[in-house]
Structure 1
């Protein structure tokens, strides 16, 4: 199976980012009544943790049910194990957590695919998964 290039992967990430932000709006609307209708403030640790969980559930569900988020589907990218099998929830959690680390160091973990001979990111290596083109 062919491996997707940097631009294709970046496009899928941006597509999914728009979807996740929209999901955050809905998720916020669902819990806002429990905060007396007031905006969340920086002293409330629950809110960012909640949004992180919502983000993981979005990615994890799509990755474990078909191997593609909506952005990945649009750009014909699929995440699978090294032996071309669907990933499980533990791998999804490892991939999601490692992706946060990859992006938090100025995207170096994602940019790594530009110099890696197998076009893998840090989160690919850490979760033992790979991205493939589905065309």
Structure 2
């Protein structure tokens, strides 16, 4: 009878699931998502307001329709992607999904909304909420911590 393998060897044979998605991959996914959203919002904004109104106006927000196009529409699209696909298109390209931090299952819609709204403090404090991913053991941003979510590598099919 052979003795069991040493603990270190046994641990190295175990699956390391979940695999947390780190800062640089999440940044790449965000850049892809931002480009895709801009392909929708910029033409709509130009169509509604025209180039002259945008270039000649110093206002940060051009009115209620601007809020709908540039704030509400992205909010709805992102929440829908998170809810139905557990990822935005940028995360899908990288095989990353958003899961509940405790169960590793699909988060509730409430958690997803909290996660999105958590972008505000993550951004306002000099972007530290996003940089936190680089130093957190589970690669959680502040908005992940607020919502109780993780971004992990999707299991292979």
Tell me if both proteins adopt one fold, taking TM over 0.5 as the criterion. Answer: yes
Question: Could you tell me which residue of structure 1 aligns to residue 116 of structure 2?
Answer: 96
Report whether the alignment pairs 1:62 with 2:81. yes
Question: Could you tell me which residue of structure 1 aligns to residue 9 of structure 2?
Answer: none
The answer to whether the 8 A contact 1:66-1:86 is kept is no
Corresponding residue to 2:25 among 8, 18, 40: 8
Corresponding pairs, count:
132
TM-score normalized with structure 1 length: 0.84
Cα distance in 2 for residues equivalent to 1:96 and 1:48: 19
Q: Secondary structure at the match of 2:42?
A: helix
Cα distance in 1 for residues equivalent to 2:137 and 2:50: 53
Q: Secondary structure at the match of 1:80?
A: strand
Report whether the alignment pairs 1:84 with 2:104. yes
TM-superposed CA distance for 1:38, in Å, is 7.1
Any unmatched runs of 5+ in structure 1?
A: none
Decide which moves more: 99-108 or 75-84.
99-108
Report whether the alignment pairs 1:118 with 2:138. yes
Report whether the alignment pairs 1:74 with 2:87. no
The answer to whether the 8 A contact 1:27-1:54 is kept is no
TM-score normalized with structure 2 length: 0.74
The answer to whether the 8 A contact 1:101-1:109 is kept is yes
TM-superposed CA distance for 1:25, in Å, is 2.4
Q: What does 1:47-58 correspond to in 2, within 5 Å?
A: 47-50=65-68, 51-58=70-77
Cα RMSD of the aligned pairs, angstroms, is 2.2
Any unmatched runs of 5+ in structure 2?
A: 1-17
